[in-house]
Structure 1
C-alpha cells in the first residue's frame, strides 16, 4: 500500500531556534527525545537510531542549517518517502514552530500522528517548555 504524506505543526513555547536545531539535528539532542540512542557514521550522513533492542538507520538527504533537516530510512521501499523537521518563526507571536512532514499508510496515519505528539511532548519536557 502506498504511504501518504502528512504534516503536523507544534508551537514550541519559549524554546530558541538554536536549542530546537540541536534537538532535531544533533545526535545528543535526538537521543533526548527521539530514540534511546543515536549515533552517526564516519561519513556523517547516516544516523543509527536505537529503541530498546531494535534499530534503524536513516540518511540525511537534505539540510538547511538552523531551518530544516530531511531523513530517509535506509530500509524504506518507496523512493519518495522521508521524514523532515522544519523550524519557522510565526510572524505575529515570534514563537518558533516545528513542522514535521512524514509518510504513513492511510490506516496507520492516526497512530503515526499520536506517536509524533508523544515524541514532541518529550522534547518539550527536555527543553523545559511544557
Structure 2
C-alpha cells in the first residue's frame, strides 16, 4: 500500500467561528456538507457517502476552534491517518478561514484537494458564505 502524505489547505470563509464550529463538529452539521449522512455513537462517527461507509474517532476538539477525527479500522482501532479542521481568525482583520489537514497518496493529492474544494464550497453555500 502506498504511503499517504500530509497536506494542508486553507479556505477563507465568511462566517462567525461559532457558527462554523457547529458545521464541523456535529453529525447534523457534517451531514449538510461533508458526507451524505453522519452518525455518532459516543466518540465514534460514521461517515456515509453513497454506498461507502468510513468510521472515525473524534480524537480531539477545542470548542469554537478545531476538531480532529482519526480514521479507525474494523476493530475500532486508530489508523495512522486523520483529518483535522481548524478555524483560524486573523487577529487584525478578524477574517475567518478553515484550515483542512488531511492525508493522501502523493499521486492523488490534486484530486483530494479538489474534493475538499467541492465540499467546502458546499459548506459555504449551506452557511450563506458564498
Question: TM-score normalized by structure 1?
Answer: 0.91
Alignment of 1:108-127 (within 5 A): 108-127=108-127
Structure 1: state its 5+ residue gaps: none
Alignment of 1:84-95 (within 5 A): 84-95=84-95
**Residues 43-101 of structure 1: CA distance to partner in whole angstroms, max 9, x if unpaired?**
x2100111112211111111111111111111399943210000110123211110000
Alignment of 1:46-125 (within 5 A): 46-75=44-73, 79-125=79-125
Question: TM-score normalized by structure 2?
Answer: 0.91
SS state at 1:82 partner: strand
Q: 1:124 to 1:10 in 2, by over 3 A?
A: same
Aligned partners of 1:64, 1:52: CA distance in 2, in Å? 30
Structure 2: state its 5+ residue gaps: none
Q: 1:3 to 1:95 in 2, by over 3 A?
A: same
Match of 2:26 in 1: 26
Name whichever structure is richer in strand by fraction.
2
Q: How many residues align?
A: 127
